[in-house]
Amino acid sequence: MSTSSFTPAKPVAAKPPASSRSGSRSLQKGAQTRAAILDAALGLASHMGLEGLSIGALADVTKMSKSGVFAHFGSREELQIAVVREYHAKFEEEVFYTAIRQPRGLPRLRALFERWVHRTSVEVDSGCIYISGAVEFDDRPGLVRDALVGMVRDWHAAIRKAILLAQEVGHLVPDADPDQILFEMHGLILSLHHDARFLRSDGALARARTGLERILGSFATPAGRKADAESRQTSPQSATAAATGTVPGRKRA
């Protein structure tokens, strides 16, 4: 056989030692356990607030030992911070990343607000950690408060950027104050949460949307109104929500 016709065999990758495979499985299982604990903690915090979280309460919910929970979160503070980060990640996925698929300008700004409104309305029966956390930690310096403030500021920065982009593409008048628009949009969300969750007002959702229309009506350009109208025709709001202004899942009294 000539050497030119010889095809060398492909080297066979050596199998990792059994101890390595076992270690990898342990790490994977550990990550899954931590994720399950974090999911349970997020559920608790949504209903009871971040201050309602404790290693003991979480152990009861997850049917684990306190030492087992503690192994994944070395302290109550670390657990609270992890919950804040997990909440922020879910918020980004459901609100921000969905909304930015819309074109820059008023279509994107409206989408951000609508997704924010939807998220807030869904949380009426549980609670928004951004809002409840602000009440719990408004005058309590520390790492948990720092984490909360950082996440909310990140979200505000995203909204502000969308406002600036709307000005750049000519959808909002140049002299509109981005910080004032942001302030008013956030105010609508806070009012929605308060009236829907605390007062149990059926009309809160409609009033929040009316508030946005007033903001856009004050600062939108003709080009912006046209782009906004075209976007709403291709991505209409829920007919039920728009018609009744009721919060999803909330029964009328």
* Angstrom distances, CA of residue 71 to CA of 38, 151, 179: 13, 26, 43
pLDDT in tens, the chain (253 residues): 444 444 444 554 555 565 555 556 656 777 888 899 999 999 999 888 999 888 888 889 889 888 888 888 888 999 999 999 999 999 999 999 999 999 999 999 999 999 999 999 998 888 899 999 999 999 999 999 999 999 999 999 999 999 999 999 999 999 999 999 999 999 999 999 999 999 999 999 999 999 999 999 999 999 999 999 999 988 755 433 443 455 554 544 3
Give pTM, 2 decimals.
Answer: 0.80
Token match 């856009």: residue?
Answer: 216
Which bin fits 82, alpha (ψ -120 to 50), beta or left (φ > 0)? alpha
Q: Comparing C-alpha atoms, which of 60, 21, 24, 23 is closest to residue 44?
A: 60
Q: Using one digit for the tens of pLDDT, what is the confidence trace for 42-57?
A: 999 988 899 988 888 8
CA distance 154 to 33: 29
CA distance 130 to 166: 26
Amino acid at 75: S
Q: Which CATH number fits domain 77-244: 1.10.357.10, 1.10.287.610, 1.10.287.110, 1.20.1250.20?
A: 1.10.357.10
Chain mean position to CA 2: 66
pLDDT value for 92: 95
Q: Comparing C-alpha atoms, which of 234, 229, 230 is closest to residue 216?
A: 229
- Domain ranges within the chain, ordered by starting residue: 77-244
CA distance 174 to 164: 9
- Residue 47 bridge partners (DSSP): none
Token match 């994720």: residue?
Answer: 35
Token match 């909002």: residue?
Answer: 172
Tell me the backbone φ, ψ of residue 95, rounded to 5 degrees. -105, -60
* Angstrom distances, CA of residue 179 to CA of 112, 156, 168: 16, 9, 15
Mean of the per-residue pLDDT values of the chain: 85
Helices in the chain by DSSP H: which ranges?
A: 18-48, 55-62, 66-72, 76-91, 97-99, 106-122, 129-137, 143-168, 178-193, 204-219, 222-234, 239-244
* Contact by Cβ (8 Å): 134, 194: no
